[in-house]
Structure 1
Amino acid sequence: MDIQQLRGVIPPLVTPVDGQENVVETQLRNLIEYVLAGGVHGVFVLGSTGEFYGLDFDNQQRVVEITVDQVRGRVPVYVGASAITTRECVKLTRMAENLGAAAVSVLTPMFIQPTKAELYRHYETIAKSTGLPVLLYNNPDKTGVNLSADVVAKLADIDNIIGVKDSSGDMTLTAEMIRRTQGKAFRVIAGRDMLIFATLAYGGYGTVAATANVAPKLVVEIYEKFMAGDLEGARAAQFRLAPLRLAFSLGSFPVVTKDALNLIGVPAGDPIRPVEHCSEANLTQLRKILEQLGLARSV
């Protein structure tokens, strides 16, 4: 995969599962076609929105197999290779490479609190274990570990570490990542759906946005209008997206994305327990937001 392909809108796909919490192939294939029809520039499986932490290795492997087969090279397939230990991340990375992924995305370790030096060696080891491009993934709210601009700038010097998805929500940090990696073969993309326009304005290259599961055309509109120089149009699209992203508080992460997809007729199954579906009252609120976006009919 060429670094030029790391751009635009890359939805972190939910993983449709059945009552035994195994991937539902038909639903995953249907979701892939839905987002591709919305104009996205890549797909990302086994991320946090994809509930990677709740899937055993066999299901993770099956998700990658299905996705690579369904996409058929139309856009890059990014695969999450995230775990607590370096050893497990390397195992997942090799699995993704063997199955034809275009790149892997690796979240910071969770539960433990590695030093900056330990984080650097963690990512360096993963990158050296594969011929695939590696996308760093910073999400301190979920892991308790924050990638500093210092560590990112140093990791950017490793040939196949091509970028970072920053989900910190800290625009000062995102801007520093961009500033500190200028002139390197490295790209910063937004991981917070509310900050797509802001990240692009600072010099970012796109977004991994959970809302692009549900409203891919609207998220793509933010990116395409910005790239065309229509800044007001891009900002207006960002504002239209805001109610959907804010609705994520209506349920435990990441069930709202699945519930929204179910409401618009793109079956996404159930959340992995202990997470449960939104309450009826909150589903009613969510349905109204989807109706306002033209994604769901009034009932």
Structure 2
Amino acid sequence: MLLRALLRPCARAVCSPGPRSYVHTALDISGIYPPIATPFTDREQVDYGRLEENLQKYADVPLRGIVVQGSNGEYAYLSREERLEVVRKVRQVVPKEKILIAGSGCESTRATVAMTREMAEAGADAVLVVTPCYYRGRMTISALVNHYTKVADTSPVPVILYSVPANTGLDLPVDAAVTLAQHPNIIGMKDSGGDVTRMGLIIHKTQHLGFQMLSGSAGFLLAGYSVGAVGGICALANVLGAQLCELERLCVSAQWQTARTLQYRLIEPNAAVTRRFGIPGLKQAMDWFGLHGGHCRSPLGPLTEQERQELKKVFMDNGWLQSHH
């Protein structure tokens, strides 16, 4: 535990650029978080009862917190009211010592500012703000810095940058991340791109600020820790949360050989529930592991039978599922 404490970034006190000056003490976000799925009924309504049952099962896992309305929560298919209600329900169930991070990103800066405030009011401890991407050709470093600065200036809670190029077609540029890390209300970044060199460079250029990097996928969780990341927001944590927490423990206690063996067994299942089969694959795996994955909201559809068999084989081949499933 001592080593883990040493690896955690210290609280920082940084003066905001410009005429306004204030001190912000960073929230320590180190640890493992599942970006939880949103259960739906067969009529595609949010199933709050099953959501609560999933959260009660996650309470038995040593997760640092919960991420709500990330990509795996199908936030792009939820109305504003549904997004906020899901966060309220999660906050009612999740104990205060667990960090609740809510996705508040929208395409416009104005809408993101408003959603960020509302997510804070709904109970979020921090917000995860995805890069706007619809007009990605004009998402220059200047545009992105301006967007995030306005959000962070007005946010009642700390802001975490979110780069997920597989979904947005846009990598948050290193220079933009380094500039934004100087803002006292921007405390970290979730990087889902998988370029560990890039992650390491951002950490190298921002570590004096206490800026915290989170790996955005279980496939490179060990690699992230090796270059200075403090945790991960990983889709696979919805299914193998205990195993990812064990990988975290091995990394922060420098048991690299054992950690590597475990990491190898997570790579294929992680790819299967992210790039290969996406959210329908994640929800199917959740069903096998005693959680409520269930239906997706249209236009996302279920896996075909062939896809289900392929997904099952991946989990079986890596020793996570038995043949009776």
Q: TM-score, normalised by structure 1?
A: 0.95
Distance in 2 separating the partners of 1:32 and 1:187: 25
**Equivalent residue, structure 2, for 1:277:** 302
* 8 Å CA contact retained: 1:287, 1:296: no
Q: Does 1:209 align with 2:250?
A: no
* 8 Å CA contact retained: 1:250, 1:256: no
* 8 Å CA contact retained: 2:217, 2:270: no
**Equivalent residue, structure 2, for 1:10:** 33
1:56-98 CA distance string (max 9 Å, x none): 1121111101110010213100000011111111121111111
- Range 218-227 or range 34-43, more displaced: 34-43
Amino acid in structure 2 at the alignment position of 1:171:
V
Amino acid in structure 2 at the alignment position of 1:148:
P
Amino acid in structure 2 at the alignment position of 1:223:
E
Distance in 1 separating the partners of 2:277 and 2:264: 23
Q: Does 1:138 align with 2:157?
A: no
1:7-35 CA distance string (max 9 Å, x none): 11011001111233221111111212222
1:205-229 CA distance string (max 9 Å, x none): 0101000000101111110111122
**Equivalent residue, structure 2, for 1:69:** 92
Q: Secondary structure at the match of 1:105?
A: strand
* 8 Å CA contact retained: 2:235, 2:274: no
Q: Which residue among 60, 64, 83 is the counterpart of 2:106?
A: 83
Q: Secondary structure at the match of 1:188?
A: strand
State, as a whole percentage, how many aligned pairs show the same letter. Answer: 28
**Which consecutive unaligned segments of at least 5 residues does structure 1 have?**
none
Q: Secondary structure at the match of 2:73?
A: coil
Amino acid in structure 2 at the alignment position of 1:17:
F
**Which consecutive unaligned segments of at least 5 residues does structure 2 have?**
1-23
Distance in 1 separating the partners of 2:159 and 2:177: 12
**CA distance 1:79–1:250, change in 2 (3 Å):** closer
Q: Secondary structure at the match of 1:182?
A: helix
**Equivalent residue, structure 2, for 1:187:** 212
Distance in 2 separating the partners of 1:13 and 1:142: 17
Q: Does 1:237 align with 2:262?
A: yes
The number of residue pairs the alignment matches comes to 299
Deviation at 1:2, TM superposition (A): 6.2
**Equivalent residue, structure 2, for 1:112:** 135
- Range 273-282 or range 121-130, more displaced: 273-282
Amino acid in structure 2 at the alignment position of 1:164:
M
**Equivalent residue, structure 1, for 2:186:** 161
* Segments ≥4 residues shifted beyond 3 Å: 1-4, 249-252, 288-297
Distance in 2 separating the partners of 1:221 and 1:58: 36
Amino acid in structure 1 at the alignment position of 2:256:
L
Q: Secondary structure at the match of 2:92?
A: helix
